[in-house]
Amino acid sequence: MRVFVTGASGWIGSAVVPDLLAHGHEVTGLARSDAAAGQLAAAGARVLRGNLDTLDVLSQGAKESDAVIHLAFVHDFGNFAESLRKDRAAIDTIGAALDGTGRPFAIASGTLGLLPGRVATERDLPDPATAHPRTQSAAAALALEDRGVRPLVVRLAPTVHGEGDKGFVPTLIDLARERKTAGYIGLGSNRWTAVHRDDAATVFRLAVEKAPAGSVLHAVAEEGVTGREIAEAIGRGLGVPVAPATPDELGWIGPLFALDSPASHALTSELLGWEPTGPGLLDDLADGHYFK
């Protein structure tokens, strides 16, 4: 298949692109800078220059492809409404370009906060009363099924880990370094899901290869790693003590790290034949590369 990938130069995209190429697909990656274009060309992908504001380019990329994987996102937590607006515009534009084609269109979503306190499955829908506003992007994508598109939503674990990670776990590590203590919230029994980056990439490939329209998939390898286990691994890595903290003491990530948000991947494994093979989060943290 010819696959158009937005966010192809990002943390997950740069694992998705080589995985697609290694499985015989052609890839066109969206690049907004020379650096991203160079990275994609070096990986063996075709480059389409543009960004989330160049909707004509997104439309062109989608029209010229057999499948689309949408990973680009503006992670600006200071102006999240604008990030969501751009995401929605991109989804609507790509959806319109694929109208009536039956082609697969996979977007990234998340498991965090989906069903607090219970193990969320792929069939669980977010509670509209408490759902994160970003879940509206997933709903908009799934609604494209009515327009003859094959929409697919990949809910990622909040930690997509591996060497080079710049996400939530490095944020917690920086915070522990600063505070000279690795904090967990309350008893630390709340759970986060986790997945290695390479395993997450495989879910996107298998999704566009074979998931039926409207599939919700969980790129989740570990159903629940506790806050305390994560803090202890960080404490060991940095050689700092581990202690309970309030969400406020951990800054903007505190309320997120406080969530008890386990999720399973049984339905994804059954549908796609996906079995994660990468190291678990605690093994990855014990490996040392997070603390260099």
Ligand X SMILES: NC(=O)c1ccc[n+]([C@@H]2O[C@H](COP(=O)([O-])OP(=O)(O)OC[C@H]3O[C@@H](n4cnc5c(N)ncnc54)[C@H](OP(=O)(O)O)[C@@H]3O)[C@@H](O)[C@H]2O)c1
Q: How many residues bind ligand X (CB under 6 A)?
A: 23
- State the helix-helix crossing angle for 227-238 and 168-179, rounded to 10 degrees: 60
**Residue 108 Cβ, how far from ligand X at the closest point, in Å?**
3
Q: Using CB under 6 A, which of 48, 52, 194, 216 touches ligand X?
A: 52
φ, ψ (nearest 5 deg) of residue 134: -65, -20
Interface of this chain with ligand X, residues 167 to 226, rule: CB under 6 A: 167
Q: Using CB under 6 A, which of 62, 108, 173, 194 touches ligand X?
A: 108
Residue of minimal Cβ distance to ligand X:
10
Q: CB nearer to ligand X: give 7 or 227.
A: 7
Choices 6-14, 94-102, 239-247, 281-289 (CB under 6 A): range interacting with ligand X: 6-14
Tokens of 244: 């309970």
Q: CB nearer to ligand X: give 171 or 269.
A: 171
Q: CB nearer to ligand X: give 36 or 234.
A: 36
Q: Using CB under 6 A, which of 93, 135, 159, 202 touches ligand X?
A: 159
Q: Using CB under 6 A, which of 104, 151, 158, 278 touches ligand X?
A: 158
- Check if the beta carbon of residue 45 is closer than 8 Å to that of residue 3: no
What is the length of the chain?
Answer: 292
Choices 157-165, 180-188, 203-211, 259-267 (CB under 6 A): range interacting with ligand X: 157-165
Under the rule (CB under 6 A), what is the footprint of ligand X? 7, 9-13, 32-33, 36, 51-52, 71-75, 108, 110, 156, 158-160, 167
